[in-house]
């Protein structure tokens, strides 16, 4: 037993040394767990943020001025007053995302009880801003018309809603974006590293050298698994402490030790999956295609981008077999909500079960692939 552990340990050290000699992989790891996550986090603003808007005011009354003045930052840039002939060139040249046209006699028709219409032109090439921003402008216009008709600064409300945001009081999108990118990076790099290590040895012929040595097939696989797990785990620790906590000022209320334990379980599962994929692929190009086919649905349907409650029931059930689903769940529970093991034990148990199944499948596939070699 001691000899088996020694073989696994020394083979794992060999994998780490080989990785340190691969400059491209080192650069990829450093970038992905530092600048890649930071840039992705700060580059994910609100759906509508500082949208350029112009106004064609053909009415030039108190009501039209109130509507124009209500288009305020940070949702919109200060409105530019233009004429009707400037609207189409401005939209075509991407100078404006929205163009609001207030017709003549608009205030007069409102006071007469008519239903006058405003024209809102939106640049639909900026799909998210156009869709969400149009709704914001409609709400602003409706609210200003009601205030004008009542002649009050604020509309009376029968009840006041005291809104309190938990776990992200300022609704900072950087926190969510940074954590979501960390989840994607951990999953992707774990599969890429183990796949590159296996295929590199197969292409160089060193895998055959290992097979003729007095080591078992499972020892080779376990060595690759623990070495890549340690590398990605250390990189994840750096990301959480330096990028998320220090640079993005994201509070982590939960236990960092508990979180890293969950990351280790997730890595156990996805590295086993990476070994299985690398046994199927014959070269790095095929592995890249397999990674795209596997990672894209796993990341998109894990609940990190779109809440799982918005997905069809069959998709939710299928994605329970994906490790990223439970990884996202306990990341949010521990880092955002400060949950302990009494809350996060379910995703931990799921990851342990999924990892065990994937490890067993990967070991069988690796043995068969080694025998064929």
pLDDT in tens, 284-334: 888 888 988 988 888 888 887 777 877 888 888 899 999 999 998 888 888
Q: Give me the half-sphere count of Cα atoms (radius 13 Å) on the Cβ side of residue 76.
A: 26
Which pLDDT belongs to residue 260? 92
Report the SS3 class of residue 57: strand
Cα dihedral 53, 56, 60, 66 in deg (nearest 10):
-20
Indicate left, alpha or beta for 205 from its phi (over 0: left) and psi (-120 to 50: alpha): left
Report the SS3 class of residue 206: helix
Which of 101, 124, 150 finishes a domain? 150
Per the structure, how many domains does the chain have?
Answer: 2
In a domain? residue 182: yes
* 54 DSSP β-pair partners: 80, 99
* 55 DSSP β-pair partners: 81, 100
With CA atoms as reference, report the closest residue to 253 among 324, 166, 193.
166
The residue range of the domain holding 189 is: 2-43+168-372
Residues 37, 59: Cα–Cα separation, whole Å: 49
In a domain? residue 157: no
- Which helix (H) or strand (E) is 80 found in, with range? strand 80-81
Token pair for 4 = 């088996």
With CA atoms as reference, report the closest residue to 334 among 261, 245, 254.
254
138 & 280 share domain? no
Task: State the alpha helices, DSSP H only, in 106-205.
Answer: 106-111, 127-150, 173-204
Contact predicate 25/19, CB 8 Å: yes
pLDDT tens digits, residue range 54-89?
A: 999 999 999 999 999 999 888 889 999 999 999 999
Q: How many CB atoms lie within 10 A of CB 112?
A: 9
293 & 366 share domain? yes
| DSSP character at residue 121 | E
Place of tokens 């001691």: 2
61 & 37 share domain? no
In a domain? residue 288: yes
With CA atoms as reference, report the closest residue to 96 among 110, 82, 107.
82
176 & 143 share domain? no
Which of 150, 182, 209 finishes a domain? 150
pLDDT, tens digit only, all 373 positions of the chain: 688 788 888 888 988 988 888 898 999 999 999 999 988 888 765 567 788 999 999 999 999 999 999 998 888 899 999 999 999 999 888 899 999 999 999 988 888 888 888 999 998 887 777 888 888 899 999 888 888 877 655 555 566 667 776 766 666 667 777 888 888 899 999 999 998 888 888 777 777 777 677 778 888 888 889 999 999 999 999 999 998 888 888 887 788 899 999 999 999 999 999 999 988 888 888 888 898 898 888 888 888 777 787 788 888 889 999 999 999 888 888 888 888 888 889 999 999 999 999 999 998 888 887 766 5
179 & 143 share domain? no
In a domain? residue 48: no
In a domain? residue 158: no
125 & 174 share domain? no
235 & 127 share domain? no
- Give one DSSP letter per residue of 258-304, joined into a string: HHHHHHHHHHHHHHHHHHHHHHH-SSHHHHHHHHHHHHHHHHHTSSS
27 & 173 share domain? yes
Which of 99, 119, 150 finishes a domain? 150
Token pair for 205 = 């012929």
72 & 183 share domain? no
In a domain? residue 37: yes
CATH number of domain containing 79: 3.40.1710.10
Predicted TM-score (pTM) of the model is 0.74
Question: Could you tell me whether strands 80-81 and 98-102 are parallel, antiparallel, or unpaired per DSSP bridges?
Answer: unpaired
12 & 130 share domain? no
In a domain? residue 160: no
Q: How many CB atoms lie within 10 A of CB 175?
A: 20
Question: Who's near 242: CB < 8 A, 6+ residues apart?
Answer: 34
140 & 70 share domain? yes
Report the SS3 class of residue 98: strand
Residues 96, 135: Cα–Cα separation, whole Å: 17
In a domain? residue 268: yes
Report the SS3 class of residue 122: strand
202 & 303 share domain? yes
Place of tokens 């808007």: 53
Residues 220, 207: Cα–Cα separation, whole Å: 9
């Amino acid at each position: 037993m001691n000899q088996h552990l020694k073989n696994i340990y020394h083979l794992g050290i060999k994998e780490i040394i080989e990785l340190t000699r691969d400059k491209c992989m080192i650069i990829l790891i450093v970038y992905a767990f530092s600048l890649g996550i930071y840039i992705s986090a700060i580059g994910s603003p609100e759906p509508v943020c500082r949208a350029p808007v112009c106004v064609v005011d053909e009415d030039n009354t108190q009501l039209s001025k109130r509507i124009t003045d209500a288009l305020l930052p940070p949702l919109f840039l200060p409105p530019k007053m233009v004429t009707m002939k400037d609207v189409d060139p401005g939209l075509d040249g991407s100078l404006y995302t929205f163009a609001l046209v207030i017709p003549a006699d608009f205030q007069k028709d409102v006071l007469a009880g008519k239903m006058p219409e405003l024209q809102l032109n939106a640049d639909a090439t900026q799909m998210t801003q156009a869709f969400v921003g149009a709704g914001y402008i409609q709400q602003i216009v409706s609210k200003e018309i009601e205030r004008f008709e009542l002649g009050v600064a604020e509309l009376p409300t029968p009840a006041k809603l005291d809104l309190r945001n938990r776990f992200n009081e300022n609704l900072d999108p950087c926190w969510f974006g940074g954590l979501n990118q960390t989840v994607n990076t951990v999953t992707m790099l774990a599969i890429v590293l183990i796949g590159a290590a296996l295929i590199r040895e197969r292409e160089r012929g060193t895998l055959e050298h290992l097979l003729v040595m007095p080591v078992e097939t499972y020892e080779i696989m376990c060595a690759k698994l623990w070495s890549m797990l340690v590398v990605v785990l250390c990189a994840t620790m750096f990301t959480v402490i330096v990028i998320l906590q220090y640079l993005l000022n994201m509070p982590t209320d939960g236990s960092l030790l508990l979180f890293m334990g969950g990351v280790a379980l997730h890595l156990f599962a996805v590295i086993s999956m990476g070994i299985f994929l690398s046994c199927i692929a014959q070269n790095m190009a095929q592995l890249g295609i397999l990674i795209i086919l596997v990672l894209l649905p796993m990341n998109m349907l894990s609940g990190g981008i779109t809440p799982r409650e918005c997905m069809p029931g069959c998709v939710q059930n299928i994605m329970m077999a994906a490790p990223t689903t439970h990884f996202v769940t306990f990341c949010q529970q521990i880092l955002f909500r400060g949950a302990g093991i009494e809350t996060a034990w379910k995703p931990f148990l799921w990851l342990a079960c999924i990892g065990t199944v994937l490890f067993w499948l990967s070991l069988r596939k690796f043995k068969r692939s080694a025998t064929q070699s």
